[in-house]
Amino acid sequence: MLDVTLIGFGAIGRTLFARTGTMEGVRIAHVVVPAAHVDDVRRDVDGAVQIVAGVPADAGLVVECAGHEALTAHVLPALARGVECAVLSVGALSAPGLAEQLADAAAHGRTQVHLLAGAIGGVDAIAAARLAGLERVTYTGRKPPSGWRGTAAEAVVDLDTLAAPAVILEASAREAARLYPKNANVAATVSLAGLGLDATRVRLIADPTVRDNIHEIEVEGTFGRMQVTMCGRPLPDNPKTSALTVLSALRFLHNRAAAVTI
């Protein structure tokens, strides 16, 4: 049995917890939440899992889905202790030096940190193509106005009255992840697989004509050309997050427990 410590119990964490309940060979043993929320979450789960305020000393595998602050508060110390970690909040790596801190902590603990693909596909192909040389990587993210509420987009367009698609940002992946940390994890993931945060171009669009979260990637390099378009439905409990994000973490856990992986 693969015991997993889950950091975060928001929309993603709750869905992961529910879905792993029927996954063979995988069990959520601990859930890490802020100390102020421990008692409330304990009542919610009714003893089904241990709710704690920090990663246990004997943790074997950690999956983070709590947001960017969790990386410095929990993931970095766990890696330094030798605990293997998987990260969904990849956009956090836009912060200067954080990617290097994660790498250093993992090296010190002689373990690994896995940056999960989340809401996008084709990351394996981009990372493979990088080995021969990439020339251009662009990412376009298109979501309905509800997917941009509570973000910097509210200062750019009127989301309530928007009648036509509107570009809310054109910038590097680093800037996109900094300004839209809860929406631009895909941009950060694509960039880290390919040309890096500063060389990857990003365009974010609020589009009242769509219902799904649409991701478009264009890549050119020595290998040839690649275009990927994905229309991902959002989590019912969080329109800023694609449902595929949860499935990406479930695939990672499945591959850790399964005899055959792909």
d(CA 140, CA 142): 7
Give, as one character, the DSSP assignment of residue 92: G
d(CA 87, CA 221): 28
β partners of residue 28: 4
Which residues make Cβ contacts (< 8 Å) with residue 254, sequence separation at least 6? 23, 26, 261
Active site members: 215
Which residues make Cβ contacts (< 8 Å) with residue 93, sequence separation at least 6? 99, 102, 115, 177, 188, 192, 197
